[in-house]
Structure 1
């Protein structure tokens, strides 16, 4: 068994929602709004997936194995990359999958970009562990449909 990473997998909204539910991210994403999830995927600039495969040598690009991780980012590929979603199936956490998804996302976006993310409170101790630095000044306007 092995983990295979892909930057060209055509992730469907259903697959993404299923993974979000198997990670801890579903509670902070609109998983009950499939059209919105579909738009989130359609407008991502960088999408990296991790799949659990039985045979790392033979992989069908249409079904590369069980989806166990995803990184979704928006980037200008020149200055900044916003890592919007980092989700790893809870059964596979602690194996370095998140770290590799972050690394590949930054590589695809360009190492000259500043990789930025907003951490869930429960994950705040994870990001320093993978080499990210905290920033004490983040400001946002929440969406009007969020209570």
Structure 2
């Protein structure tokens, strides 16, 4: 019998662990994983970081920017490929929503490969979203 997955708010997540879960999830291909200072700033400036751990091992991270009142942008939902399909991503979404409360909208931009996951999780697609893409 394997240990339970523990979901928690973790504002002091180490940049090295964050980097590793980005790499393990596949998001490392589109995140600045070779820029440790930038990864640290991403963590330092996040308003909400939720982690999933089993026996202390980091399985996934939800990193958010929010006002805790109206809206929350979920910048990363990263789950190690070795644990994808076990409900970790859905658990991170559920815990993030619980911490935000029912009056805060949760918004994200999905990579094409994850669209089906978000649809199955009950999220609605937003056809009228816009953005100025960063240079890097």
- Counterpart of 2:27 in structure 1 is 25
Describe the superposition over 1:10-63 as per-residue Cα deviations: whole angstroms up to 9, x where unpaired.
21111100111111211111101111110000011111001112xxxxxxxxxx
Describe the superposition over 1:44-87 as per-residue Cα deviations: whole angstroms up to 9, x where unpaired.
1111001112xxxxxxxxxxx11011100011111100000000
Task: Give the Cα separation in 1 of the matches to 2:8 and 2:97.
Answer: 14
RMSD: 1.1
Larger Rg computed on CA atoms: 1
- 1:1-147 to 2 correspondence within 5 Å? 1-8=3-10, 10-53=12-55, 65-143=56-134, 145-146=135-136
Please identify which structure carries the higher helix content.
Answer: 2
Name stretches of at least 5 consecutive residues in structure 1 with no aligned partner: 54-64
Name stretches of at least 5 consecutive residues in structure 2 with no aligned partner: none
Task: Give the Cα separation in 2 of the matches to 1:77 and 1:124.
Answer: 25
Task: Give the Cα separation in 2 of the matches to 1:88 and 1:80.
Answer: 23
Offset at 1:9?
A: 5.7
- Figure out how many residues of one structure are paired with residues of the other and give that number: 134
**Normalising by the residue count of structure 1, what TM-score does the alignment of the two structures yield?**
0.87
Q: 4+ residue runs of structure 1 moved beyond 2 angstroms? A: none
Task: Give the Cα separation in 1 of the matches to 2:69 and 2:35.
Answer: 32
